Amino acid sequence: MSTTTLPAEALALRQLRHHSRNALQRILADVSRLAGIQRSRNGQRLLKEAERRILLSAALSDALFGLTRAPGPLEERLRSLCAASVGLMADPDQIVDVEVEVAAAIPPGQEEAVFGAAHELVGNAVKHGLRGRMLGRITLRLRAVDGATRLEVEDDGWGLAGPTAYGSRGGEGLALVRGLIERHAGVLALCRREGGMLASVDLPLP
């Protein structure tokens, strides 16, 4: 399909992808030209870390919105989202293994809620559950259960440690999850388990 026959919304998204890709490439080029940055060890380290985080941010935006390229298949998209979320949130010396299990498709209309919730819950697992831990594991599962699409994010971290970790209803991340799923009559549950935390979202099937 040529650009002249694309619907206006698709054409606008294509233009946004093109702009975002060009902007990120420009930022990387400008950073690499900073006077003296390549001549010191700290400068080289900063340049590599800036490039790594910019590329992770782009990968995360692609998994969520298809910002710089069209989204791939479901499982690939979820794996990319998890890897980018962990890479952005984890400390440089942390080692966090991520496992993704996909046993169901996402019903039409629920994609935004599932991917948005996955992003926030994986981020919470790194930020709260695995905070200060050198090693950790996060498992994301997508399956159909009792007439609902269920998303689970489980970690082997500190667990739900009261107001210092999540608060009575959680922070901005959990508020975003609730906002994403409430239009689908979705339910968010947090469950502390021995050796970790399980967060789950149930979205009734249309």
Query: What pLDDT is stored for residue 169 in this prediction?
Result: 54
User: 31, 37 in Cβ contact below 8 A?
Assistant: yes
Query: What pLDDT is stored for residue 2 in this prediction?
Result: 44
List the 95-102 sheet strands across, edge first: 95-102, 135-145, 148-155, 196-204, 187-193
12-16, 62-66, 96-100, 108-112: lowest mean pLDDT where? 12-16
pLDDT band at 125 (very low <50, low <70, confident <90, very high): very high
pLDDT band at 8 (very low <50, low <70, confident <90, very high): low
Query: What pLDDT is stored for residue 5 in this prediction?
Result: 56
Q: What is the pLDDT of residues 154-176, one digit of tens each?
A: 999 987 554 334 444 567 888 88
Query: What pLDDT is stored for residue 190 in this prediction?
Result: 92
What burial letters (b/e) apply to 2-29, b meaning 16+ CB within 10 Å? eeeeeeeeeeebeeebeebeeebeeeee
For residue 103, which of 80, 72, 137, 78 has the smallest C-alpha distance?
Answer: 78
Overall average pLDDT of the 82-96 stretch: 90
Residue 19 pLDDT > 70, yes or no? no
Specify the higher pLDDT residue, 92 or 149: 149
Query: What pLDDT is stored for residue 15 in this prediction?
Result: 66
- Structure-token pair, residue 132: 């200060």
pLDDT band at 35 (very low <50, low <70, confident <90, very high): low
Specify the higher pLDDT residue, 98 or 158: 98
Measure the CA angle with vertex 63, ends 88 and 66; round to 5°. 125
Overall average pLDDT of the 98-116 stretch: 94
User: 106, 55 in Cβ contact below 8 A?
Assistant: no
Query: What pLDDT is stored for residue 58 in this prediction?
Result: 77
Q: What is the pLDDT of residues 133-152, one digit of tens each?
A: 999 999 999 999 989 999 99
